[in-house]
Amino acid sequence: MFLADNHVAVAVTWWVYQQDIAAHADPNRQRGKTLLTTVIDRLRTGLPAGLDELATLGRTLHRRRDDVLAYFDHRASNGPTEAINGRLEALRRNAPGFRNPVNYRIRSLLHCGALAL
């Protein structure tokens, strides 16, 4: 399937996905950082025409290069924080009208799994 000319977008997207996974899974931090740097550079310069979404991804990753590559120096991610924030936003959308901040806090803790009754 990846060899057909009409599936170039799928093939390139799959390559980016696999390279990103390989970079983040590499136990050698420097090698992972180098691999992801290569992916960012290839997205900026080596894309076939017509892959606008991947070109946008390349521009974003290039602009945020220092932030993205900092993962390999510190092995820290804001993923857990974003997950909790997403759950709290869902709670806020689904349970409007809390007037008592204590009740809202308790409901938030219950919703995020940090309080078991």
Q: What is the pLDDT of residues 44-84, one digit of tens each?
A: 887 877 888 898 999 999 999 998 999 899 888 888 888 88
What is the number of alpha carbons within 13 Å of residue 80 lying toward its C-beta? 2
Closest alpha carbon to 54 in 7, 3, 13: 13
Q: Could you report the per-residue pLDDT of 93-108, keeping only the tens digit for each?
A: 766 777 888 887 887 7
Of residues 109 and 36, more confidence is placed in 36
Q: How far apart are CA 61 and CA 38, in angstroms?
A: 11
What is the number of alpha carbons within 13 Å of residue 45 lying toward its C-beta? 6
In the chain, pLDDT over 70 holds for what percent of residues? 90
Q: Could you report the per-residue pLDDT of 49-59, keeping only the tens digit for each?
A: 788 889 899 99
pLDDT at 2 over 70: no
> What are the helix and strand counts (H, E) for the chain?
6, 0
Mean pLDDT for 23-42 is: 94
